[in-house]
Amino acid sequence: MDNRELIPHLFRTEFRKITSVLCKIFGIDHIEIAEDIASETFLSALETWTFNGIPANPTAWLYNVAKNKAKTYLQRNHVFKNKIASQLKQSATEAYEIEIDLSDKNITDSQLQMLFAICHPSIPKEAQVGLALRILCGFGINEIADAFLTNKETINKRLFRAREKLRTEKVKIEFPGETEINKRLETVLTTIYLLFSEGYYSESQDTVLRTDLCVEAMRLTQLLIDNEQTNLPSVNALLSLMCFHASRFDARKNENGEIVLYQDQDESLWNAELITKGMFYLHRASYGNILSTYHLEASIAYWHTIKEDSHEKWENILQLYNQLLQVAYSPIAALNRTYVLSKANSKQEAIIEAEKLSLPDNHFYFTLLGELYTGIDNNKAKQNFQKALSLAKTQTDRNTIQKKIDTI
């Protein structure tokens, strides 16, 4: 790995660790100070390593510099020293003598606690994802803006408000209590899944960035699985789900960045390793008596890893969608269920059911109707695809629909 690759790589892996550990010492009120010290550490690395070469152990070098910077900060900043250092959790007589624990255990614990702090129910979802990207995934403001297809200012404002909220709500960087963990975990999993979806469905043209988002979401889930208290069935189910989805990452877009529909995908591009991993975690998720939506979605995704059409496959997927919709309705699940109904039962039955779904603003709804009418009533199929075309928001979607119209 040369210098150009090493720093971004280390930034991705070490920024969050340094920030989490420092923030835990300083308290959530001073989250920016922790972020700033972590950023400055990397700037120092860039300046020093460029001239002196890369040290033998770059990570240790970073930790050392971060520690010194934190100590210097505590010594120099009188306001901080008087007002905050006195409240520091560790009972150091002098603030600058404070021990900054960068052991593996403390790093892992701090990151997990930070995850729970960021995914606090009082913080808006979008802001949670933004904060998680910034602090736990080491994403720069530009990258976050790109992932959300918005500008730097918007992201900065969003993060600023989120940090304010952490302060005013006095969110603590700690593990929730035994009784609270399940409820809090729900929010954490939602945020991680959003993070994943952001990467998976993002319109951003930056493939590396989109893959990174997915990988980071999976890494955070792995962090929860490696921790005994949070190694719960729903967490395993979520990781399984993400593995199955990610296995199709390379197959679902062509070289022009256009979406390749499931039935047209080249299955040799599916990642077998991730499919096996998904099955492993789905198996590990199968205990206890809580059937989370992640279990259902992971099972649906599992059946999709079998390319071959069979009645068994579509019937199983249909029943899983029937169950999923009863506990968690979403328009996309309703549309998928109706498509699957056409496979498991018949197109005619699916058309009757599809006409009952009132989703007049959803272009996927009309794409589905077009799909179902194709071969049964091609005029109606065309009308529906035209309607979908007029509602589609992105060029990628319009291209996909236009192709459908052209083939009728």
Query: Interface residues for another protein in 137-166 (CB under 8 A)?
Result: none
Query: With contacts defined by CB under 8 A, how many residues of the chain interact with another protein?
Result: 19
- Contact with another protein (CB under 8 A) among 21, 22, 85, 334: 334
Q: Does 289 bind another protein (CB under 8 A)?
A: no
Determine which helix (DSSP H) or strand (DSSP E) holds 40, and give its type and residue range. Answer: helix 31-52
Query: How far apart are CB 318 and another protein at their closest, in Å?
Result: 7
- Contact with another protein (CB under 8 A) among 190, 197, 211, 345: 345
Pair 188, 115: CB distance under 8 Å: yes
- Contact with another protein (CB under 8 A) among 326, 360, 393, 407: 326
- Contact with another protein (CB under 8 A) among 96, 175, 353, 402: 353
Query: How far apart are CB 333 and another protein at their closest, in Å?
Result: 8
Query: How far apart are CB 319 and another protein at their closest, in Å?
Result: 6
Pair 278, 236: CB distance under 8 Å: no
Q: Does 295 bind another protein (CB under 8 A)?
A: no
Give every CB contact of residue 161 below 8 A, 6+ residues apart in sequence: 127
Nearer to another protein, 239 or 334 (CB): 334
CA dist 4 and 54 (Å) reads: 11
Q: Of 59-67, 257-265, 273-281, 311-319, which part binds another protein (CB under 8 A)?
A: 311-319
- Contact with another protein (CB under 8 A) among 2, 78, 87, 329: 329
226 SS3 class: coil
* Nearest of 293, 294, 313 to residue 304 by alpha carbon: 313
Both tokens of 135, joined, read 């602090």
Q: Does 325 bind another protein (CB under 8 A)?
A: yes
Q: Does 356 bind another protein (CB under 8 A)?
A: yes
* Nearest of 170, 145, 139 to residue 38 by alpha carbon: 139
What CA–CA distances, in Å, run from 158 to 34, 113, 125, 153, 217? 18, 22, 11, 8, 20
Give every CB contact of residue 352 below 8 A, 6+ residues apart in sequence: none
Query: Interface residues for another protein in 17-76 (CB under 8 A)?
Result: none
Pair 203, 253: CB distance under 8 Å: no
Q: Does 318 bind another protein (CB under 8 A)?
A: yes
- Contact with another protein (CB under 8 A) among 321, 364, 366, 373: 321
Both tokens of 130, joined, read 């933004």
* Nearest of 321, 271, 270 to residue 293 by alpha carbon: 321
Binding-site ranges for another protein (CB under 8 A): 315, 318-319, 321-323, 325-326, 329, 333-334, 337-338, 341, 345, 353, 356-358
